[in-house]
Chain A
Amino acid sequence: MAKTQIISDLQSAIGKKWVLYAPEDLLVYEYDATIERGLPEAVVLPNSAEQVAASVRIARRHNVPVTARGAGTGLSGGAIPCEGGVVLVTSRLNRILEVDAENRIAVVEPGVINLDISRAVDPHGLYYAPDPSSQKVCTIGGNVAENSGGPHCLRYGMTTNHVLGLEIVTAEGEIVSLGGKTDTAGYDLTGIVVGSEGTLAIVTKVIVRLLHKPESTITILAIFDEVDEASQAASAMIAGGVLPAALEMMDKNTMEAVEPFINAGYPPDAGAVLLIEVEGLEEDAREQSEQVQAVCKELSAREIRIGLSPEDRERLWAGRKGALGALGRLTPSYYILDGVVPRTRLPEVLRGIYDACDRHGFRVANVFHAGDGNLHPNVMFDEREPGVTERVLKLGEEIMRLCVDADGSITGEHGVGSEKRSYMSWIFSEDDMTAMKRLKLAFSATDGFNPGKVFPTSKGCGEVSSRMKAAIAKVGPDAYV
């Protein structure tokens, strides 16, 4: 009865066509890039901030939560409605509202695809810097919620460094603007909402900063015999005063998976490759490229390949970009982990990860953002094997522990979601979390947006076992990291 009422309220607010409630329609919205599931009771596809606000007010009146959803490419279950309720899909809020090339600013709606911003401003010689690997499909709204990174955030920063202002709908259903094209008075609520995983507000407009495209970009692929040498080279470069635009690493297992499909030409006995990109003025790129090569040689790189033209650079990146897809062809399932350590701790933590995987009897492929110390071990397994999921998750926990013990963090770019809530206490004290809870209370006394995320709670997202599966990615060529 109550359910019928909320559906008809939503229908009269945003139109019959844009409210889904038939079970077969809802199924499409119960998942994201994790294997977690959570079925919403209704899905709304609003077309304006006013319709978002109206939907939020209706849900509030009926006492059901609202979970915002972009493209559903998230890797921490951020778009999964753990406690049911309404899923609010931003796909119709997909307009680029303004491109101000002279002032290097764009105003977009949350459903705009990340790469579409760069495409739209390309004629002006500009681009939007944060480049999560899913940038061809993921939305800016999702990027804002998760404070997404990407290979080039080593030099240019994460989403939060490129968002100047937001329009949000609060839990009370009010439309409020935060920040703006110019400095504004008051606490930096824009910076707070970015990365809040959809728990504080629903974003209806994003003001982003654009950058001039660099004059010159050089891609360098350095092949090493040992993982240790490659990770030492990564931190030696940075200590030596070079801050590349991107500094990525792939280990032996990743290369073995990639080679048959991509034909990148990785030697079968190599231990690791570094993929480094330097950019700027031609002179800067050239000088940095020389410095990078010198460091790699000093640390016994066996081969260095240089890409100057867009085609050559694309070829060097092909192995990195296709890595997860290739892994998917080797193993029925894999568990994508996301941890961060200080760059200098990479060699020891990587050793620890290989040890732990050996002990638990799993193969692991490491493909990650070495320059940031942001690790993505991908643990390969077969989900059909009885009891294997629990073993993989136990291993994952052990790897997270290694990161935390090395002064690191439990997530660098994928988010806490429901998967890592229980690890929050490993890095934050009760008082630290009290401060976060207060911040949430300042936004709303209710738990109306995306409940069951970020904070450890007694309520689970489904049963414990299925909740813990959250981070196990679906296998296939469309997976990103």
Chain B
Amino acid sequence: MVEQATLTSDLEAIVGTTDIAAQDELASFTVDGVTPSAAVHPENAEQVADLIRLANDRSVTIIPWGGGTEMHIGNLPSRYDVALNTVRLARMIEHEPANLTATCEAGMTIGSLQDSLAKAGQTAPFDPHVPRDATVGGLLATNASGAARHFYGTPRDFTIGMRLVTGDGLVTKAGGKVVKNVAGYDMCKLYIGSRGTLGVITEATFKLAPLPAASSDLAFRSRTARDASSFVMEIHGRGLSLRSVALLNAAAADSASRRDSKTYFLAIQFAGTTAGVKRSLNEARSLASESSLKLVPDLDSGDACASFFERGEGETIVRCSTISAETPSLMEAIEEIAPSAQIVATPLAGIVRARWTNTEVGPDSLAKVRECARRLDASLLIEDCPPDEKGRTDVFGPRPPSLPLLWQMKQQFDPGNVLSPGRYVDRI
């Protein structure tokens, strides 16, 4: 066990007395019911490296902390002593609009990053519906995406450079500041989605996208998930300016008080040139009128798209990934198992996210949903569930065939096992 007093003074020696959280603030850094003994706010990569070296010397474990919006995702930490909060690593480092790239520190929130880029008519192509208080580092660590994934891709697709401090304190750079670069291994790919188990991200450079000149929403009701999904495939196939797509089941639509509670709800956002958006709207309306879909007038699709990231207390949340065509089957199958589940899907990317209140469904629902995903060749990540359930199961699902390589990677980059231990696949 770590001696609290000496740990605090060692941490203070690195970050100073003001950049260490007070005891009564520690509860806000709780992960899966475990509250750390300390939380520190380093202000540069060197301090992060010093903290990691200290952790190795003293056998202390660290969990990196950004906006805290996705910290519920992961297996139970096998140990958790110090939260490394990136709140002070929040500076914009470089944004040259004509290069269509930007570099910022990892603790910068998506909200402030996007606000700053918007002044030049640009955007970092993170899903436009991610929480504003999520941080750049957190979204890279989770490779998070939502309703606009088919349009922008995931962070792995537009991150061109990173700085990361490895689990033994090497301050490293990956990639660079140019949009095309094949010098050496593409280390960014390794770090993105590694959920704080290989290193602490301190800085990142992105390819940006121009903000669309126009955008417009449409919403429809559909009796079946299949009809809605086929409609989406059709308008996508025609090349219409589809940016975001969220297909909600009745329970999800109802919960957000989108009136009708018996049908599926399809929220679509078109974005692009003014003329392109106008034509997309017209064509989608006319296609819908020939189908079983019913147009819902005057609705903003934004909050429907944001439901990919919503969560509540006492819930189980699963995120499944399947091929596009199987999206409706998977939605229907989950509804059959857990009728009260709120489900949001994006048929183009094959993502189906379901959440339910633990007290409202049968205790074996999660196991059944997992089995059903397996039957449909879908992968399933348990984003949230009761801690005792997490103790019994690997939230990432069955062991992937590359598992020995994953352990080798962990061994190479965090040999002392000081970063987010236990939280990753196979409890890496």
Interface, chain A (partner B; CB < 8 A): 100, 102-105, 125, 146-147, 149, 153, 157-158, 160-161, 170, 176-178, 180-192, 194-196, 200, 212, 214-215, 235-236, 238-239, 241-243, 280-281, 283-284, 286-288, 340-344, 369, 372-374, 407-416, 420, 424, 427-429, 431-436, 438-443, 454
Interface residues of B in 177-229 (CB under 8 A from A): 177-190, 192-194, 198, 209-211, 213
Kindly state the separation between the CA atoms of A411 and B238 in the bound complex, as whole angstroms.
37
Q: Give the Cβ gap from A186 to chain B, nearest Cβ, in Å.
A: 5
16 more contacts with CB within 8 A, not counting A157-B153, A435-B187, are: A103-B323, A161-B157, A187-B198, A192-B189, A195-B185, A212-B239, A238-B100, A281-B272, A287-B274, A342-B177, A372-B178, A373-B178, A424-B183, A439-B412, A441-B412, A442-B411
In Å, the complex CA distance between A215 and B176 comes to 34
Contact B239 A438 (CB under 8 A): no
For B323, list chain A residues within 8 Å (CB). 100, 103, 105, 181-182
- Closest B residue to A243 by CB, please name it: B210
In Å, the complex CA distance between A280 and B411 comes to 46
Q: Given A281-B239, A286-B275, do A191 and B178 touch, yes or no (CB 8 Å)?
A: no
Shortest C-beta distance, B126 to chain A (Å), equals 16
Asked if B241 contacts A433 (CB within 8 A), the reply is no
- Some 13 contacts from A to B, beta carbons below 8 A apart, are A100-B323, A103-B324, A105-B323, A161-B153, A177-B402, A181-B323, A191-B189, A192-B186, A239-B120, A281-B279, A283-B278, A427-B183, A439-B190
**B408 in contact with A191 (CB, 8 Å):** no
Assess whether A410 is in contact with B183, with CB atoms less than 8 Å apart: yes
Pick the contact of A194: B96, B101, B186, B210 (CB < 8 A). B186
CA distance A125 to B351 in the complex (A): 24
- B2 is an interface residue with CB less than 8 A from chain A: no
Known: A103-B325, A160-B189. A153 touches B396 (CB 8 A): no
CB distance from A369 to the nearest CB of B (A): 7
B residues within 8 A CB of A177?
401-402
B 147-193 contacts with A by CB, 8 A: 153, 156-157, 166, 170-174, 176-190, 192-193
Q: For A286, give the chain B residue with the smallest CB separation.
A: B275
A176-B402 in contact (CB<8A): yes
Q: How far is the CB of A457 from chain B (nearest CB, A)?
A: 14
User: Are A442's CB and B401's CB within 8 A?
Assistant: no
Name the one of A102, A286, A369, A431 contacting B171, with C-beta atoms under 8 angstroms: A431
The CA of A433 and the CA of B185, in the complex, are separated in Å by 9
Contact of A443 among B120, B180, B274, B408 (CB under 8 A): B408
Say whether B381 contacts A185, CB under 8 Å.
yes
Report chain B residues within 8 Å CB of A215. Answer: 238-239
Q: Are A149 and B210 neighbours in the complex by a CB distance under 8 Å?
A: no
CA distance A119 to B122 in the complex (A): 36
Nearest Cβ distance between residue A293 and chain B, in whole angstroms?
A: 15
A434 to B183, CA, bound (A): 14
Given the interface contacts A103-B323, A146-B182, A239-B97, does A185 sit within 8 Å of B425 by beta carbon?
Answer: yes
Minimum CB distance partner of B274 in chain A: A287
Interface residues of B in 121-152 (CB under 8 A from A): 121-122, 143
Q: Measured between alpha carbons, how far is A184 from B189 in the docked complex, in Å?
A: 14
The answer to whether the Cβ of B314 comes within 8 Å of any Cβ in the partner chain is no
In the complex the two chains form, what is the Cα distance from A195 to B185 in whole Å?
7
Scan B63-105; emit 1 where CB is below 8 A from any A CB, else 0: 0000000000000000000000000000000001111110000
Are A342 and B406 within 8 A (Cβ)? no
A391 to B172, CA, bound (A): 35
Report B-chain residues with C-beta under 8 Å of the C-beta of A195: 182, 185-186
Cβ–Cβ < 8 Å partners of B278 in chain A: 283
In the complex, which residues of chain B have a beta carbon less than 8 angstroms from the beta carbon of A235?
A: 98-99
Closest CB of chain A to B212's CB: distance in Å?
9
CB distance from B419 to the nearest CB of A (A): 13
Complex Cα gap A252–B211 (Å):
35
Contact A281 B184 (CB under 8 A): no
* Residue B56 CB within 8 A of the other chain: no
Select B409's contact among A102, A160, A187, beta carbons within 8 Å. Answer: A187
Smallest distance from the beta carbon of B225 to chain A beta carbons, Å?
16
Question: Could you tell me the distance in whole angstroms from the C-beta of A23 to the nearest C-beta in chain B?
Answer: 34
Quick one: closest A residue to B185, CB to CB? A436
For the complex of A and B, 9 pairs with smallest distance between CB atoms: A191-B189, A283-B275, A183-B321, A239-B98, A241-B210, A442-B408, A438-B412, A185-B396, A182-B321
Which of B273, B400, B413 lies in contact with A283, CB distance below 8 A? B273
The residues of B that contact A283 with a CB separation of less than 8 Å are 273, 275-276, 278-279
Residues in B neighbouring A161, C-beta threshold 8 A: 153, 157
- B272: chain A residues within 8 A (beta carbon): 280-281, 284
Task: Judge whether A191 and B210 touch: CB under 8 Å.
Answer: no
- Most chain A C-beta atoms within 10 Å of own C-beta, residue among B182, B198, B324, B350: B182
B84 to chain A, nearest CB (A): 19
CA distance A179 to B115 in the complex (A): 34
- Cα distance, A191 to B351, chains bound together (Å): 20
Contacts A185-B400, A284-B272, A443-B405: A342 and B96 contacting too (C-beta < 8 A)?
yes
A413 contacts B189, CB within 8 Å? no
A184 & B400 in contact (Cβ 8 Å cutoff): yes
A438-B413 contact given A185-B381, A238-B100, CB 8 Å threshold? yes
Closest to A340 in B: B178
CA distance A185 to B323 in the complex (A): 16
Residue of A nearest to B283 (CB): A281
Most buried by A among B98, B156, B171, B177: B98
Q: How far is the CB of B203 from chain A (nearest CB, A)?
A: 13
B379 within 8 A of A: yes
Closest to B240 in A: A281
- CB-CB under 8 A from A238, the residues of chain B are 98-100
Is the pair B209, A409 in contact by a Cβ cutoff of 8 Å? no
A190–B405 Cα gap in the complex (Å)? 12
Q: How long is the Cα–Cα vector from A158 to B400 in the complex, in angstroms?
A: 26
* Complex CA–CA separation, A432 to B350 (angstroms): 36
B280 within 8 A of A: yes
Q: Are B182 and A412 within 8 A (Cβ)?
A: yes
Q: Give chain B residues whose Cβ lies under 8 Å from the Cβ of A372.
A: 178-180
How many angstroms between the C-alpha atoms of A134 and B193 in the bound complex?
Answer: 33
Contact B378 A214 (CB under 8 A): no
- Nearest residue in B to A181 (C-beta to C-beta)? B323
Task: Judge whether B183 and A214 touch: CB under 8 Å.
Answer: no
Does B156 contact A191, Cβ atoms closer than 8 Å? yes
**Which one, A149, A281, A287, A344, contacts B280 given CB within 8 A?**
A281
> Once the chains are docked, how many angstroms separate the CA of A416 from the CA of B381?
37
Within the complex, the shortest CB–CB distance from B170 to chain A, in Å, comes to 5
Instruction: Specify which of B173, B177, B276, B379 is in contact with A429 (CB 8 Å cutoff).
Output: B173
List, in ascending order, chain B residues with CB within 8 A of A439's CB.
Answer: 185, 187, 190, 409, 412
Measured CA separation A342–B100 after assembly (Å): 9
Is B408 in contact with A431, judged by CB distance below 8 angstroms? no
Q: From B184, B280, B411, give the contact of A433 (CB < 8 A).
A: B184
- A243 adjacent to B401 (CB under 8 Å): no
Distance of A411 Cα from B185 Cα, bound (Å): 12
- Give the residues in chain A near B239, CB-CB below 8 Å: 212, 214-215, 280-281
A342–B275 CA distance with the chains assembled, in angstroms: 31
Q: Find chain A residues with CB under 8 A from B321 CB.
A: 182-183
In the complex, the answer to whether A432 meets B172 with C-beta atoms within 8 Å is: yes
Q: Contact: B190 with A188, CB < 8 Å? A: yes
> Is the pair A153, B174 in contact by a Cβ cutoff of 8 Å?
no
Q: Verify if B322 is at the interface (C-beta below 8 Å from A).
A: yes
A161-B207 Cα distance, complex, nearest whole Å: 13
- Determine if A182 and B273 form an interchain contact, defined as CB atoms under 8 angstroms apart: no
The distance in angstroms between the C-alpha atoms of A344 and B100, with both chains bound, is 10
Cβ–Cβ < 8 Å partners of A280 in chain B: 239, 241, 272, 276
